[in-house]
Amino acid sequence: MADVVLRYFDIPGRAEVTRLLLVYGDVPFVDKRIPKAMYPHLKPSLDLPFGSLPTLEVAGETYGCSLAIARYAATRVGLYPTHNPLLAYHVDRLATVINDVMVALFMILYMDGCPVLRSKRLRRARRRVPQLLQHLEDEASEGGCFFSVLTWVDVYLFDLIHNVLLRYCSVLRIPFDKYAKLQAIYHTVRGNSNVAAYLKRTDGAQHFRPRRVTTG
């Protein structure tokens, strides 16, 4: 019986990197996906350490903070370099860059608010995100991962590409075809048999839709 329960909405979002890590490492877990419409009704009954999702329940204890949850999952499946503090620093540094991109794009795709403000954010993202992608491209090795061994930051990059940049390419219009090393990392992670099987089951099974954004 699985001792891990992951709770989040029924979209990839901020929990997907943890799902992917647990899947990659073949760790059994209960994937509790909460429909957005049901969340206000269920929220009072949920254990939310930081007042929001995602949460990870391990052996009956519930934990919050999406990046900390992801690092726990990465450590559990052997994709966090606990034996090498300097490598761990570099992994976390690049993960922070990817997280910054994710947050900026989620603000455009999913957040309520003024359409004019969302449009401004999108124009800013179209300028800034390619710069950050080029930075990641420059940092990546030639071997299909950022460093000499696969780490959780490779899985996090896959999440960014697959679930944001490619899934919503018609909305974001942020090109990705010129980053050869990042594409190689994408295919390395996608080539894992556990990840491939998971994607076959779940791709397209999401119910949030990105906000329509109009720009000049």
Angle between helices 16-24 and 66-76 in degrees, nearest 10: 0
Considering the domain 85-191, what is its CATH architecture?
Answer: Up-down Bundle (1.20)
Distances (CA, A) of 127 to 10, 84, 173: 30, 35, 11
CA gap 45, 170 in Å, rounded = 37
Average pLDDT over residues 25-53: 95
Q: Is the pLDDT of residue 212 over 90?
A: no
Confidence bin at 1 (pLDDT 50/70/90): low
Per-residue pLDDT reduced to its tens digit, 58-98: 999 999 999 999 999 999 999 999 999 999 999 999 999 99
Query: Is the Cα torsion angle 69, 195, 207, 34 positive or negative in sign?
Result: negative
**The pLDDT value given to residue 114:** 82
Considering the domain 4-78, what is its CATH architecture?
Answer: 3-Layer(aba) Sandwich (3.40)
**The pLDDT value given to residue 2:** 76
Q: Do the Cβ atoms of 43 and 17 come closer than 8 Å?
A: no
**The pLDDT value given to residue 214:** 44
Per-residue pLDDT reduced to its tens digit, 173-196: 998 889 999 999 999 999 999 999
Task: List the domain boundaries for the chain.
Answer: 4-78, 85-191
Q: Is the pLDDT of residue 215 over 50?
A: no
